[in-house]
Amino acid sequence: MASTPGQVIKCKAAVAWEAGKSLVIEEVEVAPPQAMEVRVKILFTSLCHTDVFFWEAKGQTPVFPRILGHEAAGIVESVGEGVTDLQPGDHVLPVFTGECKECDHCKSEESNMCSLLRIDPDRGVMIGDGKSRFSINGKPIYHFLGTSTFSEYTVVHVGCLAKINPLAPLETVCVLSCGISTGFGATVNVAKPKKGSSVAVFGLGAVGLAAAEGARVSGASRIIGVDLNSDRFEQAKKFGVTEFVNPKDHDRPVQEVIAEMTGGGVDRSVECTGNINAMISAFECVHDGWGVAVLVGVPPKDAVFKTSPVNFLCERTLKGTFYGNYKPRTDIPCLVEKYMNKEMELEKFITHEVPFSEINKAFDLMVSGEGLRCLIRMEN
């Protein structure tokens, strides 16, 4: 990488040319980083459901051609003007949201919703000059979530990069840059279950199982998994889930089933599906007096949350969370250290692996519901 700083780099990238169509491995040109930007050599990336969501572009603004990908790990190749806390050779995790460290949100101990670098799925250009750093034959290829990790090289705002321990295995910790941190943090940072408490987790995909892992690490004695796919229970046991409820198996609302199972409701619940009915159930299944429900999943834009105000008056609490309330640059390096110290497990989330040339297989696995995370190895 020594000869590339300041130069345009030609490399391979998986380009989504239109909604729902297979990605195409293309040679793209990646421009040097501008002020407050960093160019990163991506070594490992994984597929998150958010990538699939915007690739399908159902009900979303279609921004194509585009380079997707936002859950990854790599090494800094070069830095732009004004970047002082990263240098070539540093190991980093790109994150879809940022931490400028200067806005009111970043200065607040209670928020991680950076005013400058908050997630914007419709923006396909760099925030500094409104231009793309990717091109093919002079025509721009759009960015995704400020990361675009389905490329051997990408350009990211410095505020969206977490510098991590260089001894951490990049092929494993890459999953911390999105879904696993989101679910784990929703439990440990927001729900905060006490030792011996009961927790219900709605949705047993990767984010939900990360939430269950957070409950396990917190010492919860009962972790009830709720999912429409009963086949997921066996796998969920590895993440601490002790009981399973499939709403389809009952002729009454699942919140009533859970309340009966637990003598009035669970102490905490975490909703990880984005389904509005699951969100309502997650809130209504927590115990009166002290129950806390945390919403993680993103619902459709026109969804409406409907419940009786009495549920609040009876001292139930409803919270939302974004990226598990983690500040990317400040907190994610600490989460990597937690993994390095064997305080949390990550390997069990990675169920498949494919070379970059076969990235479309990862989409097939995600769409079919197989596995949790598919690791994409950039170098064969």
Answer yes or no: is 151 within a domain. Answer: no
From the candidates 114, 174, 272, 374, which is the catalytic residue? 114
Q: In angstroms, rounded to a whole number, what is the distance separating the alpha carbons of residues 148 and 142?
A: 9
Contact 226, 250 (CB under 8 A): no
From the candidates 4, 26, 29, 103, which is the catalytic residue? 103
DSSP string, 341-362: TTSS--GGGEEEEEEGGGHHHH
**Same domain for 315 and 232:** yes
From the candidates 4, 49, 307, 352, which is the catalytic residue? 49
Catalytic: 71? yes
Query: Along the chain (380 residues), what's the average pLDDT of each consecutive run of 10 residues?
Result: 83 97 98 98 95 88 95 98 97 98 97 96 96 97 98 98 98 96 98 98 97 97 97 95 98 98 98 96 98 94 93 97 97 97 94 97 90 90
pLDDT for the residue 173 = 98
Q: Which of 152, 93, 87 is nearest to 380 (CA)?
A: 152
Catalytic: 143? no
**Same domain for 365 and 234:** no
How many distinct structural domains can be found in the chain? 2
Residue type, 113: M
**Same domain for 298 and 359:** no
Contact 283, 316 (CB under 8 A): yes
Catalytic: 106? yes
Catalytic: 285? no
pLDDT for the residue 2 = 53
End-to-end CA distance of the chain: 18
**Same domain for 291 and 367:** no
Answer yes or no: is 165 within a domain. Answer: no
Answer yes or no: is 75 within a domain. Answer: no
From the candidates 4, 26, 118, 307, which is the catalytic residue? 118
From the candidates 71, 99, 213, 284, which is the catalytic residue? 71
From the candidates 106, 160, 285, 374, which is the catalytic residue? 106
pLDDT for the residue 239 = 96
**Same domain for 271 and 209:** yes
**144 contact partners, CB below 8 Å, separation of at least 6:** 51, 54, 63, 66, 67, 68, 69, 70, 121, 124
Q: In angstroms, rounded to a whole number, what is the distance separating the alpha carbons of residues 123 and 355?
A: 28
Catalytic: 103? yes
Q: How many CB atoms lie within 10 A of CB 89?
A: 10
Answer yes or no: is 121 within a domain. Answer: no
Q: Look at the block and give the residue holding tokens 């640059």.
A: 329
pLDDT for the residue 133 = 98
**Same domain for 362 and 284:** no
Give the global pTM: 0.94
Residue type, 372: L
Catalytic: 100? yes
**Same domain for 243 and 204:** yes
Q: Which tokens belong to 331?
A: 């907190």
Q: Which tokens belong to 313?
A: 């008056």
Answer yes or no: is 213 within a domain. Answer: yes
From the candidates 11, 178, 285, 374, which is the catalytic residue? 178
**Same domain for 257 and 371:** no
pLDDT for the residue 301 = 80
Catalytic: 329? no
Q: What is the pLDDT of residues 57-95, one digit of tens each?
A: 887 789 999 999 999 999 999 999 999 999 999 999 999
CA contacts within 13 A on the Cβ side of 253: 12
**167 contact partners, CB below 8 Å, separation of at least 6:** 340
Cis peptide before 65 (omega within 30 of 0): yes
**Same domain for 366 and 312:** no
pLDDT for the residue 147 = 98
Answer yes or no: is 11 within a domain. Answer: no
pLDDT for the residue 380 = 63
From the candidates 70, 216, 222, 232, which is the catalytic residue? 70
Domain hosting 187: range is 180-324
Q: Which of 350, 290, 348 is nearest to 314 (CA)?
A: 290
Output the CA–CA distances (angstroms, integers) from residue 311 to 294, 307, 319, 320, 365, in the order listed: 15, 7, 14, 17, 40
Contact 243, 262 (CB under 8 A): no
